[in-house]
Structure 1
Amino acid sequence: MAGLSKRKYDIQFYVKVVEKFVQTGECAKTLYGETEDPLLLYLLAIMNDPSIRVLVLGDEVRARIFYDITTQFVWQFLEQEKFQMQRAQSELGEMESALNWIKEKRDGWQALLRKIKDDYKENAFDEPFYEHMFGDKDKQHDSTVWEKMLKDWEDSFQQKQQEQKEKNLDAKKDFLEKKLKTSLNKIPEYLEEHQVDKEEFYQAWSMMNGLWNTIDFENIRKIVKLQKEYPELLKVANRMGRIADDEGSKQVYVTEGSVYKLAHSQKSDILGVTIGNDLNALLPSELLYYADSELQDVFMLKYFTQKLQTFRYKSEIMQPSRRLEAKPAVLKGPMIVCLDTSGSMTGKPERMANSLLIKLIEIAELQSRECFLITFSVSTKTIDIRRDRLKLMEFFSHPFTGDTDATQMLKDTFRMLDENRYMNADVLLISDYRIPKCKPELLKQMSVHREKGTLFYGLQIGIAPNEWTEHFDHIYRIEYHVDRKY
């Protein structure tokens, strides 16, 4: 309905506002135009607080603390607002029903006015005026009067929603501000006193959901420290994250010039479907968005966020002339981590696996990259690491148990790749590889996905015979001694 079309911001908008502040210090209201959004106005007020600015700007650790605590606050607030909006859906349905009364000339205006009066007596709804108007039988079916009443009802609804949003925000302000000021002072002091390096802090802090306590921090830090004891963990993480090598570069082939080889009237050049904003490779379904004037905003949003569905051609590579050049590796696709949680992984293998997972979570956050965890023993569970933090925390609280079967894990992985049309994903299987071999058809599916650009890596913890090597692009191995002190 037209009266409900006020601009709403999603989580990504607010995250970008906070990100811009910690990176540049910019937080002027003029950057975002005229707005009545209380959450945005509150964030801008916090970022313009001199005591906050002096702590956050120019200090990398404090900037990270501020970013994490603030964005988590925003997420929680929006979740609460979403819940309240769901509760209001029944009232929106009543508005729609009222429109039908106009068309069908139904009675019932007295009960409707009483309800609106009870719900919006503090929101300036002029109930006496409409009671007087509908008292005239000729006016009861006057669509002009009904439409004005509905417009006033919508305005009262919006005003009440705005007031509720401001009320909810006021109830949380003190907690956020105290939490920020305490964390921005105490955490850096603790890190300096205990000589915690930044990388250890970032990884451990990312697992704490913005809730600082030294006991949890030190327990997580012990797991993170395994990366120094076993450097292979970092090698795997960097390979999955497509991060440059220790010298800051990675040898990759890049195109030189523009040597195109386009096939016309020949066998199809289409290799698959991906996402991006190449207008020359749009799927017909995306062209429909552009052709429909009412859907052009959707098309433009997908274009600017590079989420348009496009054909992927073999000739994208264009048979380029090649030269070897040192340049940063390119990020493509999500990371899918398949973690063996069977009983044979209990103990140090479990801690090493968790250490690698924590590092991958940090990489995913820094790169704003999708990352999924598929845990498996006999059954499987899939967790969207960046969005389902509660499920992730629950996973870390449970010990590894049970037997091992990779069948369902592989099926879940392939389904995720197929349903989301992921191109160039990186899949990692962490296990001791005491895994019975799967049926040939599943292994064949692995080969098909590798041919499409998905890379399959493995981390073997232990020295058990491994029958999976030929099916992976690369398998890293870590040998460890059980009697080694943790």
Structure 2
Amino acid sequence: MLSPESLQLGMMLAETGMLEHAVTEVMAKPQLLMMTEASPTAKSAVRRHIRKWRHSVKRRLSNDCITEELKQEIQLYQDAVSLSQHDFYQQAKSIIKQLEGRSSFYLEARRMLEKNVAKETPMFQAYFCNKWYEHLAATIKDVQEKELETHKEKLLSELYQRIETYKTLENVQESGTIEKVGRLWDLAASKVTQTDIELLKKFVAFLQDNSDLQDIAQQLGRMANEVDDPSLHRSPAEELKLVEEPADNVADDIVGVHQSDNLERIVPNETIYLAEPALEILFYKHFADKRLLTYRMQGMQRSLRKVKAFKPACKQVDVEKGPFLICVDASGSMNGFPEQCAKAMAYALMQIAIKEDRDCSVMIFSTDHITYELTGEDGLKEALNFLSYSFHGGTDLAPVLQHSIDLMGTDKYRNADLVVISDFIAPEQPKDVQDKVETLKAQHNRFHAVNLSKYGNPKLMSMFDHVWDYHPSLMGRLLKRF
């Protein structure tokens, strides 16, 4: 078990400014400067990414860089510090012997002991331990600097890859860049190949040729704004709030003893040194080194802080929009043009979700269902997997619809849009499922059906709020294309 002072050695990184210097170096790279200066939103996304990296690296370096050998040496150092002056002289040779072959401080420690062994100077223990502490701090700093350099190279490699993918995603959007850069930067975590680029461009071109699908997606996206529910109206505002935080300088309670130079809180036993002239110098030495035993106080300090809050407002405000849940029929009858329409619709809704900072998931169903998180951490990879998936199998709407209903019953999916893309050649859903759908409709969730066949079951589609029919004939598609 390492003592607080040992843990402070591990936190040496925070005191040296190494992390701040590394962050400054990263942000000064020409590739990052060009991107961040061109777009303030991109700059914000990059800075947020680096802040997360900094927090993660600080924690890892503070803990992982203290190897087992260093832990043993730190523990040995702690034992030496806690010894009395007489015991230290008795055990000094044994302590230094344990450093042989384990620490580079061994030779210096042995020379120091050989010079002072005959004199028995009262200050030798403090001088020896100070030198040992400096050696430990320097060793940990060197290890942390090497480890930090490795982490910095990995960060730069990841940032360059994200920039490359980010620019590729922007270029794919022929109609212009996506406004919500934060989500787009998150999606750029996956590297795209030329095949992936061609696949994305294929669906962008398909949406341009079939603008009615894009119009349906836009209408779907706008419906979340039409909800009249004050609990969903959120107006971000900063306000001053009185908060209580733990503070060491507020003398509410004595929580322990620690080392410092605070004479107001000194433990009475420390004043014994002042009773003997020979020991008085040790008192002043401990005071100068901030090593006097003092009471540790802790209390609650009240302070004003600006906090962001979301308050319902009567004026026109943004509506808290829920996610898109897209259920895509993957039956054999969806092969061909319906399959392309389903994928293009999902891709169009993914673009809207990124722009409006909404979640978007696609569930492919046949006899079972597969879920793709299009706006999750691996969103781009998931989207490419979905777009390259070939439809086949039978049709069973009930399991995926029941799963979607369960999700929409949770707080995370308030004001959500469920979009079922299918040919709807299936039986009507049971009464209990229809009742659950009606209950969710009353809670401002919306149910949409995109019908890709003229043979869809009208009774099945009657349970949805909105039904869009999109099944142009082959001749109609040819005329529109050429």
Alignment TM class, shorter chain as reference? 0.5 to 0.7
For 1:274 and 1:391, the matched residues in 2 are separated by 31
Q: Is 1:159 aligned with 2:145?
A: yes
Deviation at 1:399, TM superposition (A): 0.3
Match for 1:350 among 339, 342, 366? 339
Deviates more, 1:452-461 or 1:226-235: 226-235
Aligned match of 1:426: 417
Question: Which runs of structure 2 are paired with 1:192-271 in the superposition (5 Å)?
Answer: 197-199=174-176, 211=192, 213=194, 217-242=197-222
Residues 383 and 392 in structure 1, CA contact (< 8 A), matched pair in contact too: yes
Q: Percent identity?
A: 17
Which amino acid is 1:166 matched to? K
Deviation at 1:238, TM superposition (A): 1.7
Give a deviation string over 1:77-132, Cα, whole Å, max 9, x none. Answer: 98999799889976669599869968997999999996787xxxxxxxx5766899
Deviation at 1:351, TM superposition (A): 0.7
Which amino acid is 2:418 matched to? V
Question: Which runs of structure 2 are paired with 1:250-399 in the superposition (5 Å)?
Answer: 293=246, 304=308, 330-386=319-375, 387-388=377-378, 389-399=380-390
Aligned match of 2:87: none
Q: Secondary structure at the match of 2:413?
A: coil
Which amino acid is 2:27 matched to? L
Q: Is 1:168 aligned with 2:159?
A: no
Q: Secondary structure at the match of 1:471?
A: coil
**With structure 1 as the length reference, what TM-score do the two structures score?**
0.56
What RMSD in Å do the two structures reach over aligned CA positions?
Answer: 6.0
For 2:386 and 2:445, the matched residues in 1 are separated by 26
Residues 327 and 419 in structure 2, CA contact (< 8 A), matched pair in contact too: yes
Which amino acid is 1:163 matched to? E
- Assess, with a 3 A threshold, how the Cα gap between structure 1 residues 133 and 221 changes in structure 2: closer, same or farther: same
- Assess, with a 3 A threshold, how the Cα gap between structure 1 residues 129 and 474 changes in structure 2: closer, same or farther: farther
Match for 2:22 among 38, 55, 75? 38
Deviates more, 1:157-166 or 1:347-356: 157-166
Give a deviation string over 1:260-317, Cα, whole Å, max 9, x none. Answer: xxxxxxxxxxx9x99998999xxxxxx9x966649x9xxx9996486xxx9xxxxx79
For 2:366 and 2:445, the matched residues in 1 are separated by 23
Q: Secondary structure at the match of 1:453?
A: coil
- Assess, with a 3 A threshold, how the Cα gap between structure 1 residues 176 and 385 changes in structure 2: closer, same or farther: closer
Deviation at 1:474, TM superposition (A): 1.4
Deviation at 1:345, TM superposition (A): 1.7
Q: Secondary structure at the match of 2:412?
A: coil
Residues 449 and 467 in structure 2, CA contact (< 8 A), matched pair in contact too: yes
- Assess, with a 3 A threshold, how the Cα gap between structure 1 residues 200 and 165 changes in structure 2: closer, same or farther: closer
- Assess, with a 3 A threshold, how the Cα gap between structure 1 residues 292 and 46 changes in structure 2: closer, same or farther: same
Give a deviation string over 1:48-77, Cα, whole Å, max 9, x none. Answer: 86xx47x984xxxxx69x959x97999799
- Assess, with a 3 A threshold, how the Cα gap between structure 1 residues 175 and 419 changes in structure 2: closer, same or farther: closer
Match for 2:448 among 453, 457, 468? 457
Which amino acid is 1:341 matched to? A
- Assess, with a 3 A threshold, how the Cα gap between structure 1 residues 42 and 444 changes in structure 2: closer, same or farther: same
The gaps in structure 1 that reach 5 residues or longer are 8-32, 58-62, 118-125, 245-249, 256-270, 281-286, 311-315
Match for 1:468 among 460, 468, 478? 460
Aligned match of 1:120: none
Residues 338 and 452 in structure 2, CA contact (< 8 A), matched pair in contact too: yes
- Assess, with a 3 A threshold, how the Cα gap between structure 1 residues 417 and 390 changes in structure 2: closer, same or farther: same
Q: Secondary structure at the match of 1:400?
A: coil
- Assess, with a 3 A threshold, how the Cα gap between structure 1 residues 370 and 219 changes in structure 2: closer, same or farther: closer
Select the structure of larger CA radius of gyration.
2
Which amino acid is 1:352 matched to? C
Q: Alignment length, in residue pairs? A: 380
Deviation at 1:374, TM superposition (A): 2.1
Which amino acid is 1:476 matched to? W
Deviation at 1:352, TM superposition (A): 0.9
Give a deviation string over 1:429-472, Cα, whole Å, max 9, x none. Answer: 22222244444433333233222222222212112223333432
- Assess, with a 3 A threshold, how the Cα gap between structure 1 residues 346 and 230 changes in structure 2: closer, same or farther: same
